[in-house]
Structure 1
Amino acid sequence: MTGFSRRAVVSGLAASGIVLSARAGEAAPRFGFETVERQAEALAQAPFDATVPPLPAPLAALDYDAWRDIRFKPDRAFLGEAGGPFRLQLFHRGFLYPRPVTVSLVRDGVASPIAYSPDLFDFGRTRLDAPLPADLGFAGIRIHAPLNKPNLLDELMVFVGASYFRFLGRDQLYGLSARGIALGTDGDAEEFPVFRAFWIEVPAKDADALTIHALLDGPSLSAAFRFVVHPGEATTVSVTATLYPRKALDQVGLAPLTSMFFIGEADRGHADDYRPELHDSDGLQIAAGSGEWLWRPLDNPQARRISSFGDANPRGFGLMQRDRAFEDYQDLEASYERRPSYFVETQGAWGEGRVMLVELPTDNETADNIVAFWRPASPYPAGAPVRLAYRVRATLDGALHPNARVLATFIARATASGACQQAEADVAARLKRRFLIDFTGGDLAYFLPDPAKVEVVASATVGTVQATSITPNPHIGGFRAALDVALAAPGSTELRVYLRAGGRALSETWSYPWTAA
């Protein structure tokens, strides 16, 4: 490629946080999202440089505890000079975060980089024998705001590591994460583009939102992002992005979400643990372009499992945490019942494609083994900008639609309760299973006195639905649907169930993959 120097682009970014500069005698250009777009476009026209400046030896040797002990001094936080409600802190480089990130403040359209200084940090028990270079940079950013109380600054949002970011609503604790982009997540080699620069607009005194711009770069693309964060009971992040592919993006994932699912009520065979369930999310929620709402319970599979849900112009999708009682987890430290759900609400026409769900096996509760994202039907060609917009909501409320929703899924042998159990080696027993689905909310309470009016609509892509039944469940103000499914031979099937009355759907659609060996 001609006309662009990668070295010039990168050095300009590192020096000032802004690639574009004014000509002699001209005023500096006003910073805006289009500034970041021009930088991303320029980067995309040069080969990706994967070089990471080496960390000074004392930082390179830090373990997790030593790195975590380096804390930003709260009294040195930025953004408070205008009296606004937000505060900016910075992460120190080290441990798993060797790549430098430039951070700039934008005041009245003018961007000014924040210079690294060790005086910004309390190093705690970590002792560094030699002075650190002035161009060290940072590892990421952290935003605080009066989220839970008007007189107390709480952590609101964090960007650190690749393109990951997390944010909280009121009374929430960190669980799942969002990402700027996913590439090759369901393939053989995943790519992790990085946010290499941030620009934070200094908010006014009465601001109720904070705007953050970010420049993303990776082997397959560069991109400009804008995040507008509205803190509240259900904090929302409005995302605007322009992608500049270096190569055709045939395994791209848009608005990706990453979470953890270890054990749940449907399968506790993975761990000998006193806690009934362990997960940051327990289901994938999809709002299809047709108006249908779909619920897919998550699983910790024995091998990698990839599911796709075709759609056109989806309204949204998310990884949700629906179990909200302490009794679901019995964990006094992790408080899984306070982990937020993230739901992506699309803006504009996203065209044809599919929601992808990747479930990976894990033997512990620390691994992020769940990923969900949108994949367009056609690859994005190299050199053609792609623009998209969406909003991500962090919520504790699982009622995103007016119909009934799935509360729990149980799987059992297709025999009467209390009956003598067949041996596990009995092939016929392994090819037949009973699925019980608890539905709650919507108009279900209205039908409790007359359950005969409620119909279970069930289907299987392979095999036979041999029987269905429905039983009032007053404990949840809804119903428990049951279906017995049988396969003629070992294999897999996709099950779907929803409740109906008088031709009207009363519930979302439960979708579940079952494999019988």
Structure 2
Amino acid sequence: MVQTLNRRNLLTIAAAAGLAPVLSGETAAATPLKFGPARAFSYDDLKTMARERAAKPYVAPPRPNPEIVQRIDYDNHGKLRFDKDVALFGSGPGAYPVTFQHVGRYFPKTVRMYALANNQAREVLYDPRYFTISADHPAAPLPAEPSAFAGLWLQEAKSGDWKKQEPWATWLGASYFRGVGELGQVGLSARGLALSPGQGPGPEEFPDFVAFWIAPAETDADPVTLYALMDSPSLSGAYRFQCRRTTGVIMDIEATLSFRARVAHVGIAPLTSMYWYSETASSRTIDWRPEVHDSDGLAIWTGAGERIWRPLNNPPRTMTSSFVDAAPRGFGLLQRDREFLHYLDGVKYEKRPSAWVEPLGDWGRGAVQLVELNTDDEIHDNIVAMWVPETAAEPGQSREYRYRLHWLADEPYATPLARVVATRLGRGGQPGQPRPQGVRKFLVEFKGGPLTNLPKGTIPEPVLSASRGTFGEYKYTEAVPNDVPGHWRTQFDLKVEGNDPVEMRCFLKVGDQVASETWLYQYHPGA
């Protein structure tokens, strides 16, 4: 199973820890950061460390007193505010200050932190006085050892009023991390690695980032460089993140993985998001909002150049879809619907970022794999998209991957073709006539590209296929009557028996020319 995270609560933690005032009766910490002795460090050293670690039995990262940590729920975790006056790189060199996060119920494992300067690393030594911990707070009884750091935040540049702003990138919990999109919101998460998510029958293995080495950016135009050590029962890994604050966030990521055990499904550059429902299959009877999702589709740019849009599902059971490819050009979980009236929610789903994975170098053969879990609420991440190499990883083997991760409003390399902007389902048949059993109507909207300036009287032709079932004779394509140039919709019926999923495919063409990206959809007749 894919790990589920309480998303709305985690956003509450971020807001509380970043912006809430000091509670009455509390005093801010005034203890400056303390450091351990300096030791030489390089990325090659880290890769050697990971390789040597993988040759030894796995040892889990320390956990401070579990009974105490369990009582640090999301409300109490939000009160554990790091004193920004003592932030790493908050004064002196470094354009972007770094603050740290405390362990809690949802982040019980510790992470060691190191500051880098002149190829020397010094550990940031934990002290509870870095945090606002009142005498009656559940964390108050925790001793100073072992360290209670759980993660880190990259704050906005010191050239601005950074102490009143939320962070632009965070690493917190297992190997999860996220960036701010260009619309100023966080939403979906990325992970360092995913090991056989959704494959069962046992629980999924979640690798941890157990240590970070942080190098400052000289100016706010330069990248912050983070190095991370990953560890889990199956592997150890060395990561390098070069993070740039742009209109959104751009991360250049390198990973060297050394395997302790055989892993059949290695998920490279995994993205994790939430999809409850959208216009495709509304849930008005269980919630007042028209749509609730962080992402509404998986976009793929294949090695052969095809552009694919796969609307997300909230399936009746866990489903894994594989899109076989070689040397993919990119994939991502996107939030295309940007209309507030489609959500009506103050948490700003319409501004959630899209995340796009751009492979650097040839990733060989494999598949973009999409795992979708059923959910009955918005608090759980139920979507994972990742690249899965064709061959399993074997004990003693090492693999290297490089990619660029874009946190933006849209995919960074726009297609010249029309894009899918909505998928809608309804009852099959025609108004005023008996509705046939087992028939579902589909309406797919496309916009832009070659559809924008069609000669008068030209109507795009839908090209349809399905893994099973029969399309009805009635197929209809028209310009959407909203006076928006290039906005078209096609509708068709599909008759199918039984409840097994149906894989569907559609694109528009004008004459002999492809005019749109390819719509792929997994239809669940019994849902």
Q: Same fold (TM over 0.5)?
A: yes
Q: Does the 8 Å CA contact 1:466/1:486 hold for their aligned counterparts?
A: yes
1:164 counterpart residue number = 176
1:463 counterpart residue number = 469
Q: 1:35, 1:353 → 2: CA distance?
A: 30
Residue by residue, what CA displacement relative to the aligned partner does 1:333-360 show, whole Å, maximum 9, x if unpaired? 2110010010101111111111111111
What TM-score, normalized to structure 2? 0.87
State the 1:516 CA deviation: 2.6
Counterpart of 1:465 in 2: which secondary structure? strand
Residue by residue, what CA displacement relative to the aligned partner does 1:58-108 show, whole Å, maximum 9, x if unpaired? 445322211221110111111233453211000112322221110001001
Counterpart of 2:501 in 1: which secondary structure? strand
User: Structure 2, unaligned stretches of length 5 or more?
Assistant: 1-34
1:378 counterpart residue number = 391
Q: 1:17, 1:291 → 2: CA distance?
A: 51
Q: 2:500, 2:49 → 1: CA distance?
A: 51
Aligned counterpart in structure 2 of residue 403 of structure 1, from 411, 417, 436: 417
Q: Are residues 1:393 and 2:406 paired?
A: yes
Counterpart of 1:114 in 2: which secondary structure? strand
State the 1:313 CA deviation: 0.8
Q: 1:388, 1:239 → 2: CA distance?
A: 8
Distance 1:514 1:61, change over 3 A: closer
Between 1 and 2, higher relative CO (CA 8 Å, sep ≥ 6) is seen in 2
Q: 2:389, 2:288 → 1: CA distance?
A: 42
Aligned counterpart in structure 2 of residue 498 of structure 1, from 486, 504, 507: 507
Distance 1:17 1:516, change over 3 A: farther
Which amino acid is the alignment partner of residue 52 of structure 2? A
Q: Does the 8 Å CA contact 1:241/1:387 hold for their aligned counterparts?
A: yes
Which amino acid is the alignment partner of residue 247 of structure 2? E
Q: Does the 8 Å CA contact 1:115/1:137 hold for their aligned counterparts?
A: no
State the 1:466 CA deviation: 2.7
1:13 counterpart residue number = none
Q: Are residues 1:208 and 2:222 paired?
A: yes
2:150 counterpart residue number = 139
Q: Are residues 1:354 and 2:367 paired?
A: yes
State the 1:233 CA deviation: 1.3
Q: Are residues 1:429 and 2:429 paired?
A: no
Q: Does the 8 Å CA contact 2:36/2:124 hold for their aligned counterparts?
A: no
2:447 counterpart residue number = 440
Q: 2:392, 2:353 → 1: CA distance?
A: 32
Q: Are residues 1:234 and 2:248 paired?
A: yes
Residue by residue, what CA displacement relative to the aligned partner does 1:218-247 show, whole Å, maximum 9, x if unpaired? 011010011111111131111100000111
Counterpart of 2:341 in 1: which secondary structure? helix
Residue by residue, what CA displacement relative to the aligned partner does 1:232-285 show, whole Å, maximum 9, x if unpaired? 113111110000011122121111011001111011248522210000000000
Q: 2:499, 2:114 → 1: CA distance?
A: 58
Q: Does the 8 Å CA contact 1:262/1:270 hold for their aligned counterparts?
A: no
What TM-score, normalized to structure 1? 0.88
Counterpart of 1:241 in 2: which secondary structure? strand
1:8 counterpart residue number = none
Q: Does the 8 Å CA contact 2:221/2:244 hold for their aligned counterparts?
A: no
1:364 counterpart residue number = 377
1:44 counterpart residue number = 54
Distance 1:260 1:108, change over 3 A: same
Q: 1:114, 1:512 → 2: CA distance?
A: 49
State the 1:491 CA deviation: 3.7
- The 10-residue stretch of structure 1 (244-253 or 77-86) with the greater mean CA deviation from structure 2: 77-86
Identity %: 37
Which amino acid is the alignment partner of residue 516 of structure 1? P
- The 10-residue stretch of structure 1 (192-201 or 247-256) with the greater mean CA deviation from structure 2: 247-256
Aligned counterpart in structure 1 of residue 130 of structure 2, from 120, 123, 134: 120
Q: 2:240, 2:457 → 1: CA distance?
A: 52
Q: 1:162, 1:206 → 2: CA distance?
A: 28
Q: 1:451, 1:412 → 2: CA distance?
A: 27
* CA RMSD in angstroms, aligned pairs only: 2.3
1:12 counterpart residue number = none
Counterpart of 2:449 in 1: which secondary structure? coil
Where do 1:80-479 residues align within 5 Å? 80-124=90-134, 126=137, 130=141, 132-146=143-157, 150-152=160-162, 153-188=165-200, 189-205=203-219, 207-269=221-283, 271-331=285-345, 333-397=346-410, 400-416=414-430, 418-420=431-433, 422=435, 429-430=437-438, 432-447=439-454, 449-452=456-459, 454-467=460-473, 468-475=475-482, 476-477=484-485, 478-479=487-488
Residue by residue, what CA displacement relative to the aligned partner does 1:86-134 show, whole Å, maximum 9, x if unpaired? 1100011232222111000100110111011122111256265547224
Which amino acid is the alignment partner of residue 143 of structure 1? L
Q: Does the 8 Å CA contact 1:72/1:121 hold for their aligned counterparts?
A: yes
Which amino acid is the alignment partner of residue 293 of structure 1? R
Q: Does the 8 Å CA contact 1:79/1:203 hold for their aligned counterparts?
A: no
User: Structure 1, unaligned stretches of length 5 or more?
Assistant: 1-15, 22-27, 423-427
What is the aligned residue count?
484
